[in-house]
Amino acid sequence: VMARANLIISGGTGTGKTTLLNVASSFIPPTERIVTIEDAAELQLHQEHVCRMEARPPDLNGENRVAIHDLVINALRMRPDRIVVGECRAGEALDMLQAMNTGHDGSLTTLHANTTRDALSRLETMVLMAGIDLPMRAIRQQVASAIDLVVQLSRMRDGQRKVTSITEITGMEGDTITMQEIFLYESHGADKDGTMTGVFRPTGIRPHIMDRLFAAGVPIPPELARVFPDRRANERGH
């Protein structure tokens, strides 16, 4: 978040997407102008420059509806540093991707999907719901250039909610969006009390975004810095 990566938080119902979005948004610097867009106000941001926008259903006459899509377009006119959308469900995904690609980096949203690959497929479907006739390759290029990281959440059998994967989007290869998993949750099964156990560990693949973290001066935990050292230190040594 502090390095202005564009994040998608993905998971099924009740996996804690909004809770994690709240926590992630709390790391946005207090000097930045943030616009939050939600169906129902759930986010609790305490930064000074927050503008909250909420969708509105149609009235009894079927009029005066304000959709998430409309709010995203209006938000872009407010010159925000970042846009936080509570959940992308339909055509507003296209506006969100375009915002991420045009200077509003560091924006965040959530969506319903059970795997990272499913999350990307769902994004493509939602872009098509915008009603604009775009070739699939163009949609995938938008997704690949806009999204930096997908954080996947799951609900364990015992009710625990876990981050099960953090995946970096690396670009396009042919007509396919390429990605690399950089952290994963390794399940060790249930203990004698039925509690699911496991460990969240790096896969060993160095993410491209680490260079952005170091360049932005983001504090890196020592255990993470050992796995992904700052390349600039080696360059200075030479």
The structure tokens listed for 145 are 């250039």
What is the model's pLDDT at position 236? Answer: 54
- Rounded to two decimals, what is the model's pTM? 0.90
CA–CA separation, 102 and 146 (whole Å): 9
The structure tokens listed for 134 are 């775009």
CA–CA separation, 231 and 212 (whole Å): 11
Q: Tokens 């509003």 identify what position?
A: 104
What is the model's pLDDT at position 179? Answer: 95
What is the model's pLDDT at position 111? Answer: 93
Sorted by where each begins, the domain ranges of the chain are: 7-206, 208-238
> Which residue from 188, 140, 153 is spatially nearest to 18, judged by alpha carbons?
153
Which of 39-48, 104-113, 194-203, 212-221 is the least confident region? 212-221
Q: Tokens 């790096």 identify what position?
A: 202
Q: Is the pLDDT of residue 184 over 90?
A: yes
Q: Can you point out the beta strands (E) in the chain?
A: 7-11, 34-38, 50-54, 82-85, 108-112, 149-155, 161-173, 176-190, 196-202
- Of the pLDDT bands very low, low, confident and very high (cuts 50, 70, 90), residue 192 is confident
Q: What are the phi and psi torsion angles at 49 (to 5°)?
A: -110, 70
What is the model's pLDDT at position 54? Answer: 92
The structure tokens listed for 178 are 């390429």
The predicted-structure confidence for 79-132, as pLDDT tens digits, reads as follows 899 999 988 888 889 888 988 888 788 899 999 999 999 999 999 999 998 888
Q: What is the mean pLDDT of residues 218-232?
A: 79
C-beta of residue 188 within 8 angstroms of C-beta of residue 197: yes
CATH architecture of 7-206: 3-Layer(aba) Sandwich (3.40)
